A and B are shown apart, each in its own frame.
Chain A
Amino acid sequence: MDFYDKDLVSIRDLDREHIESLLDLSEEMIPYARGEKVERMLDGKVLGNLFFEPSTRTKLSFESAACRLGCSVIDVSEMSMTSISKGETLADTIRMVDAYCDVIVLRHPHEGAARLAAKFSENPVINAGDGAGSHPTQTLLDLFTMRKVKGSLDGLNVVLVGDLKYGRTVHSLADALTMFGAKLTLVAPETLQMPDDIYHHLKEKGCNPKKTSTLEDVIGQADVLYVTRIQRERFPDPAEYQKVAGTYRIDNTMLREAKSDMIVMHPLPRVNEIAYEVDSTPHAMYFEQAFNGVPVRMAILRAILRGI
């Protein structure tokens, strides 16, 4: 597939081949992301960051990726303020922003916002998260991290733990991993398990995810432990939250059961899901994962603005 001038709205728009070619290109981008090599391959291009809700990391990582390739960045997020206060539709805001840049990176609180933006924008739109919907660039960097460390995604035993109901990153990640033949285990309290429609979608795709609420039972088989944050506001009763949050806290005692080469990932920021003592173990992969956001987003920008 030619990514040139295409939108990136949902990971479901891509097939395995598309994803692999993006991951390969991401690999090539690493020396550029580190500043070891310099090439202004996107010289003269302008990226517009349109963030309707704060997400400093995603925004900065796009900025860094763009700058490394010589693509200028303008922050048009202020337009989100004026459009909300003036009651302007997203469609109209997008038409304006579209005139200022060559690619729009959009973060929005409502599901489906990126699809709508793509419809109204002449230039390509990259979804940087829409409500509880998808966040495809996060998924790509997660896949990239797993593939880089483990060599392949096929047959990988991935345990997803935490808030699987509202956590947007895990939905598209589960979807994509299924595409690559990974085995999934879903660990969450009953009330925060994977939504039924996503669970069935995974089953239809040939994955048969195991559901459990006990991490101890499954951590020993994991190649990858993907941890997400459980938000306090999901629980009406604070005591209930404390109980659940405590159950899924990853520390060195918990990791005694794990394979020696098992990696722990987390989209960050963490609150207390992973103890600091884990940071210095070979299991900790979350900071490397965060760094990988840059080469992966470089690859995406390059593919969309210049083609692969």
Chain B
Amino acid sequence: MADGKIVETKIPPIRNGTVIDHISNGQSLNVLKILGVNENNIDSVISIGMHVPSSKCNSWKDVIKVEDRELDPQTVDKIALIAPEATISIIRDYYIAEKFNVRLEDHIVGLAKCSNPNCITNKGEPIDPEFIVEERCPPKLRCVYCDRILTNISDNLL
């Protein structure tokens, strides 16, 4: 990859768009949910690799390639919540124009709602839900208000 060109055999390279790599095994469908793609709004090619061998640590990963789309920072932050080790490559004309790791902040504001239905943050108060990241891989988030651990992160993303 010294020349910056993507070497990937199973999933075809894309010309322009985004490659989300090193997604935690099994999380690709949840990442798609974050990207907000459904059968009615796709107008470009999306390739998904599930259970792909990872060179990183002898394990498995998922990969997603989305053509003709670059991700906004909030989407990237949400991906970090379910796939904290994911890398994002922006591809322009077959070359990696930019590559970075998603970043899971210590303090998460407004990206997910609390899974405790009786939490004050789910009662129409003028505040954003807030979480402290207690563990990073897999992420374990504690609600700043009710002190509960957020269960099922992907179902509670905002």
Residues of A within 8 A of B (CB): 10, 12, 89-91, 108-113, 115-116, 119, 130-134, 197
Contact = CB atoms under 8 A, between A and B. Distances in A.
A111 B146 contact: yes
B125 to A, nearest CB: 5
Contacts of A109: 118
B120 interface: yes
Nearest to A116: B120
B153 interface: no
A197 B124 contact: no
A113 B125 CA distance: 10
B118 A132 contact: yes
| Secondary structure type dominating chain A contacts | mixed
B144 A115 contact: yes
Interface in B100-146: 114, 116, 118-121, 123-127, 143-146
Contact of B145 (A89, A91, A111, A197): A111
Nearest to A119: B127
Nearest to A110: B120
| Secondary structure type dominating chain B contacts | loop
Given A10-B147, A115-B145, A197-B148, A131 B118 contact: yes
Contact of A111 (B124, B127, B148, B149): B148
Contacts of A197: 148-149
Contacts of A132: 118
A112 B145 contact: yes
Given A110-B119, A113-B120, 4 more contacts: A111-B120, A112-B146, A115-B146, A133-B147
Given A111-B118, A111-B145, A91 B123 contact: no
Nearest to B126: A91
Contact of A112 (B120, B124, B126, B149): B120
A197 B146 CA distance: 13
Contacts of B120: 90, 108, 110-113, 115-116, 130
A110 B125 CA distance: 12
Interface of B: 114, 116, 118-121, 123-127, 143-149
B116 A89 contact: no
Nearest to B122: A110
B141 to A, nearest CB: 11
A115 B147 CA distance: 10
Contacts of B144: 112, 115
Contacts of B147: 10, 12, 111-112, 133-134
9 contacts: A89-B125, A89-B126, A91-B126, A91-B127, A109-B118, A110-B120, A115-B144, A116-B125, A134-B147
A90 B122 CA distance: 12
A133 to B, nearest CB: 6
Contacts of B118: 109-111, 131-132
A110 B127 contact: no
A90 B123 CA distance: 9
Contacts of A108: 120
Which 4 pairs show the lowest CB-CB distances between chains A and B?
A112-B145, A111-B146, A112-B146, A112-B120
Contacts of B123: 90, 110
Contacts of B114: 112
A119 B116 CA distance: 20
A207 B31 CA distance: 37
A91 B121 CA distance: 11
Given A133-B146, A197-B149, A111 B119 contact: yes
B29 to A, nearest CB: 26
- The residue among A12, A112, A115, A119 with the most chain B CB atoms within 10 A of its own CB is A112
Contacts of B125: 89-91, 116
A91 to B, nearest CB: 5
B134 to A, nearest CB: 9
A132 B126 CA distance: 22
A89 B127 CA distance: 11
